[in-house]
Amino acid sequence: MTGLFFGTFNPIHIGHVLVAEYLADYAGLKRVWFILSPMSPFKQNTPQVLAKHRFLMIKKAIKGNPRFFVHDIELHMPTPSYTVDTLKALHKRYPSREFILMMGSDTLAGMPHWKEGTHLMQKYQILVYPRSSADISQWKSWKNIQVVEGPRVDVSSTQIRALIKAGRSVRYLVPEFTRRYIVENHLYK
């Protein structure tokens, strides 16, 4: 079973890697693929750093964790990215591999609004990490959706971008390589 952790990762932060590690341990996953979405249909008005920068930040942030891998599949697909289309492409490319979706509770709360979101919620096993005050109580009884309790780390990419724009420190909110890369490339100013 391979965990899939989708996101724009704009930028990747400690919450992302913590959630991925925690859920992977919980489910006994040997592999977690970070799937970089170059453009989310829900974030088309959010300024995005080029996907190549975000891809490299993910790659470096997860370096050293043998079960983590960043996949570039959505970088070769039309934008905006739709999870259902990516999953079809992944199944075509890896027909014998089983996938489990990994996400924060805020993402699950928005899933019914996705392209074929309810279908995905019924078809895939989903591991959910508590992230915010998002109300997901209506899905807690679904047999394929498992909410895993863990330490709350409510860090968001939006907060990080705002801090950088204000000239404030993001040390310890993002992996150190990510922080240095952002500074060196003058990102999110």
Structural domains for the chain = 2-154 (3.40.50.620)
pLDDT value, residue 43: 66
Q: How far apart are CA 148 and CA 92, in angstroms?
A: 30
Q: How far apart are CA 45 and CA 33, in angstroms?
A: 26
pLDDT value, residue 45: 63
List, in sequence order, the alpha helices (H) in the chain.
Answer: 14-27, 51-62, 83-93, 105-110, 117-123, 157-165, 176-184
- Helix, strand, coil % (nearest 5) of the chain? 40, 15, 40
Query: Average pLDDT per run of 10 along the chain, which is 189 residues long?
Result: 96 95 96 92 69 95 97 93 95 97 91 91 93 76 89 90 96 96 94
